[in-house]
Amino acid sequence: MKTCLVVDDSGVIRKVARRILEQMSFDCSEAENGLIALDACKVSMPDAVLLDWNMPVMTGIDFLKSLRAMPGGDKPKVVLCTTNNDMKHIVEALGAGADEYIMKPFDHDIVQAKFAQIGLV
Amino acid sequence: MRPADFELLSTLLKLNSGLVLTPDKAYLLESRLMPVARKHQIATMEALADKVRSHPNDVLLRDITEAMTTNESSFFRDTKPFEQLKDVLLPRMLAARAARRQLRIWCAAASSGQEPYSISIILKEAAAQLAGWRIEIVGTDLSNPILERAKEGLYTQFEVQRGLPIQLLVKYFKQDGDKWRISDEIRRMVTYKRLNLLLPFSELGQFDIVFCRNVLIYFDQPTKAKVLEAIARQMPNDGVLLLGGAETVLGVTDRFRPIEGQRGLYELSTAPALQKAV
């Protein structure tokens, strides 16, 4: 079973995302900011990370940069999932090593399609 | 809905668009035709049916037909056909058309443009191999309003997130308010025309590749055969037809045969045997 780390400061979003990902047969864990997510990755690298951008303590983009610099941190597929719905942010995320980008609001079809595109399902 | 009204409207649709509506889809008539009725200042479905009976006019009949034809679409819908275009059909056509350097592709149900633009993007990505080639992509649809949308090339955030890889969004779209507009270089590759597949279309000319996906499912058996045979006449002997996942030529017409090992791809049954080895 593939693993996915859901990183978002909103408990509601984490719950919704988790339900969608579990339907797609992912084994999910959660983190409420980038720093907690980074600690989780040090313990065990997930196959995928669904990543919010704007979070307290450590943002998604800072997490992504730190992750990609870690040993083995190039492995997880990272999908941004954010209300930063403009070209400038998308380009910045891709530059920092994001594999895909979901603009909120999202639904099951979008998550499924984006994960399929990067070979996760 | 009165059974006689269902009978009338479904017959009208069958005649004008080939669309076959079974009684279990009567709810679709109600939900899609009420906006048409309102546009024509008609209060109820019954009154709409009466109007069609007593004083039909071309605008009303066209509006009814257009409202009933589904326009479900997304970029790179089903993924596989576009991989086949890139990995199977393009190499095949590059070899077969090396002398003429000309390629014509037809999208027979262009809808709001996602399919023809997906094809354009694939060809644009292969631009290095196609340098000096004359490429034509023709998108046709029964519905004028939907073709206007296609020509505009403006999509919601939801639409660009279904099937379109983010790198291609960055490369070929521009943000326009809260929507996304396809770039001119892609938009200009497609020519749109209104077309009813039930009427003669030989003036469109010959096409090397024909996308006719998720159209036949709405037709009855004789109409499917008629349309497929008309398409066959617009294809050179080595042309290729792509159908939707739930469609086939088998048991419908013997003008086409499946291409071995390539699901959804069909060639003319008169194609030379060599062409089978894709």
What is the nearest CA distance from B174 to chain A, expressed in angstroms? Answer: 8
Number of domains in chain B: 2
Tell me whether B79 touches chain A (CB under 8 Å): yes
Tell me whether B167 touches chain A (CB under 8 Å): yes
Of B24, B40, B68, which residue sits at a domain end?
B68
Give the CATH number, domain containing residue A66.
3.40.50.2300
Instruction: Provide the edge-to-edge strand list for the sheet that holds B265-268.
Output: B190-194, B134-141, B102-107, B209-212, B240-243, B265-268, B256-258
Same domain, B206 and B177: yes
CA–CA dist B34, B49 (Å, integer): 11
How much of chain B, in percent, has pLDDT values that exceed 90? Answer: 79
Is B166 in contact with A100 (Cβ distance < 8 A)?
A: yes
CA–CA dist B256, B26 (Å, integer): 34
Burial B251-261 (b: 16+ CB within 10 A, else e): ebbebbbbbee
Same domain, B104 and B230: yes
Nearest CA in chain A to B169: A87
**Residue B45 placed within a domain:** yes
Of B33, B68, B103, which residue sits at a domain end?
B68
What is the nearest CA distance from A92 to chain B, expressed in angstroms? Answer: 11
Is A116 in contact with B79 (Cβ distance < 8 A)?
A: yes
- Retrieve residue A30's tokens: 């959660």
**Residue B183 placed within a domain:** yes
Same domain, B58 and B94: no
Which residues are CB-neighbours of A25 under 8 A, at least 6 positions away?
A: A1, A2
pLDDT digits (tens, 9 = 90+) for A27-82: 999 999 999 999 999 999 999 999 999 999 999 999 999 999 999 999 999 999 99
pLDDT digits (tens, 9 = 90+) for B154-199: 999 999 998 999 999 999 999 999 999 999 999 999 999 999 999 9
Host domain of residue A17: 3-117
pLDDT of residue A99: 98
Nearest to A94 among B79, B162, B167 (CB): B167
Which residues are CB-neighbours of B80 under 8 A, at least 6 positions away?
A: B263, B264
pLDDT band with cut points at 50, 70 and 90 for residue B36 = very high
**Residue B74 placed within a domain:** no
**Residue B186 placed within a domain:** yes
Tell me whether B156 touches chain A (CB under 8 Å): no
Tell me whether A116 touches chain B (CB under 8 Å): yes
pLDDT of residue A81: 98
Give the CATH number, domain containing residue B19.
1.10.155.10
pLDDT of residue B269: 96
Give the CATH number, domain containing residue B187.
3.40.50.150
Q: Could you tell me if A38 and A16 are in contact, meaning their C-beta atoms sit under 8 angstroms apart?
A: no
Of B68, B93, B124, which residue sits at a domain end?
B68
- Retrieve residue A51's tokens: 């990543």
Which residues are CB-neighbours of A60 under 8 A, at least 6 positions away?
A: A7, A34, A51, A52, A53, A54, A80, A82
Host domain of residue B118: 80-276
Same domain, B113 and B211: yes
Same domain, B60 and B112: no
Number of domains in chain A: 1
Mutate which: B80, B161, B175, vs A, most A CBs within 10 A: B161
Give the A:B interface size as CB pairs under 8 Å.
32
ipTM field = 0.93
Same domain, B48 and B134: no
**Residue B73 placed within a domain:** no
pLDDT of residue B70: 72
Same domain, B245 and B118: yes
Give yes or no for residue B275 having a pLDDT over 60: no
Nearest CA in chain B to A108: B162
Q: Which is more confident, B84 or A121?
A: B84
Same domain, B267 and B194: yes
pLDDT of residue A121: 87
Q: What single-letter amino acid sits at B160?
A: V
Least confidently predicted of A85-89, A91-95, B6-10 = B6-10
> Average pLDDT for residues B74-78, to the nearest whole number?
92
pLDDT of residue B56: 87
> How many degrees, rounded to 5, is the angle at CA B137 between CA B188 and CA B176?
35
Q: Could you tell me if B105 and B115 are in contact, meaning their C-beta atoms sit under 8 angstroms apart?
A: no
Nearest to B162 among A90, A98, A113 (CB): A113
What is the nearest CA distance from B164 to chain A, expressed in angstroms? Answer: 8
- DSSP assigned state of A44: -
pLDDT digits (tens, 9 = 90+) for B238-270: 999 999 998 999 999 999 999 999 999 999 999
What is the nearest CA distance from B126 to chain A, expressed in angstroms? Answer: 19
pLDDT digits (tens, 9 = 90+) for B96-149: 999 999 999 999 999 999 999 999 999 999 999 999 999 999 999 998 989 999
Q: Which residues of A touch B158 (CB under 8 A)?
A: 110
Same domain, B218 and B130: yes
Which residues are CB-neighbours of A36 under 8 A, at least 6 positions away?
A: A7, A57
Mutate which: B166, B167, B179, B180, vs A, most A CBs within 10 A: B166
Nearest to A102 among B161, B174, B178 (CB): B161
What is the nearest CA distance from B16 to chain A, expressed in angstroms? Answer: 33
Same domain, B120 and B16: no
Instruction: Give Rg (Cα) of chain A.
Output: 13
Q: Supply the mean pLDDT for chain A.
A: 97
pLDDT band with cut points at 50, 70 and 90 for residue B274 = low
Same domain, B140 and B265: yes
What is the nearest CA distance from B185 to chain A, expressed in angstroms? Answer: 19
Is B170 in contact with A94 (Cβ distance < 8 A)?
A: yes
Same domain, B170 and B46: no
Mutate which: A83, A89, A90, vs B, most B CBs within 10 A: A90
> How many degrees, rounded to 5, is the angle at CA B36 between CA B35 and CA B40?
115
pLDDT of residue A92: 98
> Average pLDDT for residues B60-68, to the nearest whole number?
89
Question: What pTM, to 2 d.p., does this model score?
Answer: 0.88
